[in-house]
Amino acid sequence: MKTSKITAIAHALPTNRLTQATLEERFGTKAVKSITKMSGIRERRIVSPGQCASDLAYAAAIRLIEHLDIDLSSIDLLTFATQTPDFRIPATSSVLQGKLGLSEHCCTFDINQACSSFIHSLQIAHSMIVAGTAKRALVLNGDALSTLINPMDRGLVTLHGDAATAALFEPAESGTGGIEYIEIGTDGTKFDRLLIPAGGARMPSSRETIIEVADEDGCIRNLEQIYMDGPSVFHFVVYKVTDVLKSTLTKLQRTIDDFDMVLLHQANKTMVDLIYRALGVPQEKRFYYMEEVGNCSGASLPSLLAQAWREGIIKPASRTLLCSFGGGLSWGVAIVKWPYDADAAVPGIVDVPFLPEDEALYAKI
């Protein structure tokens, strides 16, 4: 029997910071403090104009490759999970494969499953390794949602930051640690609770789709920027996601006592704490990583995982319950038993400055 394991994980952040002071000037001190109390987010990293999520993913991948001294020809699968691709065509994973200098025999494709994307990426890499169609997978997750949020949308700009991660997946013998369980799901009947209405084939871009409109709460956006039905998403997370986790534990005949850590998508602290409370997760099994980086969408959970390794929160031979949730509306649950010889902590966060040559990279097209 064979499974897969996460050998290492790195994460990268843009150097540009969106501070509380800036937001208080924009929205007022009272409104920002009220949101901060709910969200637990005090600062966000956001890309500079012209900087892409793929630039962050590339930096994270290079850090991981250099740290492990990886033979590039040994990587035969590269996935990039993002909601902010470089182009509509081709897949950004193809662009990254070329920039990284990977083999022409490396399978590449993009994944778009919003904040749930790390567990979905994990499922794909794990399945392909177990099936024998991949031997070494580089799983990249990255979003630059700040480019899709209106700067005057008080409900979203105060929450979201940009980030990317790179994780290496390899085969592992069953019983030595690795991925023990994965479950993913979607309720597509509620797809419209979190979406960008225009810019795709259903509603192509036009003069009308870039007209800014204020909603009943005073948040401003156009049809090519993110819309979120906050109450519906909150209800989905607190009830549906909690039920999914409880159902998984019941099905597997496990309890929270069977896990050393429980790591959740860092949507905001209120949501995360409500799930923790409903599951009875004690403080020593909780971990947060949002205060200085914000909700990093699909890169949130793997960034949390990388930071937990870096701080020694996750230890070799421990068992971790992972859960992500978001647009779609979708969710994912995974159980990871870390190998006894695991050392997945890639040194340091990669701070990625904006380089003018990045912007000019495709100017010849």
| pLDDT of the residue at 141 | 97
Of the candidates 265, 268, 296, 323, the residue annotated as catalytic is 265
Q: Does the pLDDT of residue 288 top 90, yes or no?
A: yes
Mean predicted confidence (pLDDT) in 34-52: 92
Catalytic residue flag (residue 235): no
pLDDT in tens, 206-244: 999 999 888 877 788 899 888 988 889 989 999 999 999
Mean predicted confidence (pLDDT) in 128-145: 95
Percent of the chain beyond pLDDT 70?
95
| pLDDT of the residue at 124 | 95
Of the candidates 141, 150, 268, 295, the residue annotated as catalytic is 295
User: For the chain, what is the mean pLDDT?
Assistant: 90
Q: Does the pLDDT of residue 364 top 60, yes or no?
A: no
Mean predicted confidence (pLDDT) in 41-50: 92
Q: Which of 103-117, 255-269, 279-293, 343-357 has the lowest mean pLDDT?
A: 343-357
- CATH code: domain 1-365 is 3.40.47.10
Residues, the chain, total?
A: 365
Mean predicted confidence (pLDDT) in 92-118: 94
The answer for 178, left when phi > 0, alpha when psi is -120 to 50, beta otherwise, is: left
| pLDDT of the residue at 355 | 65
Of the candidates 52, 106, 115, 296, the residue annotated as catalytic is 115
Confidence of residue 358 (pLDDT cuts 50, 70, 90): low
Catalytic residue flag (residue 265): yes
